Amino acid sequence: MTPDFPRLFIPARRKPLRIGLVNNMPDAALRATERQFAELIAKAARLLGAGFPTLTLSLFHISEIPRNPEIAVELAATSADVSTLADASLDALVVTGGEALLPDMRAEPHWAKMAALIDVTVAHDLPVLWSCRAAHAAVLHLDGIERVRLPEKLSGIFQTDMIANAPVLRHLAGNPVSPQSRYHGLDADELLAKDYTILTQSAVVGPDWFTRRASPHMLFVQGHPEYNAEALALEYRRDVRRFLNG
């Protein structure tokens, strides 16, 4: 039997759904992140079952993010610059996290392009998953909510509690487990004051999944929903190497 998913996820049409992926991850994690999200999207299509339209994945990048020259050339050949996204006829979008370059995101070389992307998604009422640092950028640009530096890096897999109802939570079996890898967090009271709804949280993680009343098709996630079993271990080894190298 096909699950009774919300209408948001089962359009009344049969043409392929086009999902966009804006990949902001650093060079070493770029292809792994692309593969992880592609696998999750494909799995979601299988779970929806017969009658669900075919999914296609369209890749985008922000060319202003500093890259190894070889990676930059590869990206230009395999994905489109995010400035073309408004004309891409997407049905939904995923925007990944990325590596912090400066304490203030608004001073980073790609901030103008990121802010323009956020504006495009609002103007087109596009369903978006903002993951990790992309969620921080989105709430900063939309509502001036500043991220807060944590006493130490939050890294690991944590149990969170569902504290609100939303269609995106309907088919979760129990409270979600959330992979986290970040130096910053968001204040729950400030999110609530700016009319966000917190869906999942924990004492350690803080607010994890949340939505914005003014943009109901957006889902913000402070963690990394795409991470597989190896991703956190690879990040931990990277951090250790950086510490040893000063």
Domain range summary for the chain, segments of one domain joined by +: 15-244
pTM of the model as a whole: 0.89
- The CATH H-level superfamily of 15-244 is Class I glutamine amidotransferase (GATase) domain (3.40.50.880)
Residue of 97, 98, 95, 131 lying closest to 116 (CA atoms): 95
Q: Is 226 annotated in the active site?
A: yes
> Residues 34, 108, 226, 235: which is the catalytic one?
226
Q: Is 224 annotated in the active site?
A: yes
CA distance 172 to 31: 28
User: Which residue's structure tokens are 């890096």?
Assistant: 153
Report the run of H or E that residue 114 belongs to, with start and end. helix 111-123
- Provide the token pair at 208: 């994890």
> Residues 34, 136, 224, 235: which is the catalytic one?
224
Residue of 17, 16, 113, 15 lying closest to 65 (CA atoms): 113
Q: Is 132 annotated in the active site?
A: yes
Report the run of H or E that residue 207 belongs to, with start and end. strand 206-207
pLDDT by residue for the chain (246 residues), tens only, comes to 233 333 344 445 557 789 999 999 999 889 999 999 998 888 877 776 656 667 889 999 999 999 999 999 999 999 999 999 999 999 999 999 998 888 999 999 999 999 999 999 999 999 999 999 999 999 999 999 999 999 999 999 999 999 998 888 877 777 888 999 999 999 999 999 999 999 999 999 999 999 999 999 999 999 998 887 788 888 888 888 888 998
> Residues 132, 136, 184, 235: which is the catalytic one?
132
The answer to whether the beta carbons of residues 158 and 205 sit under 8 Å apart is yes
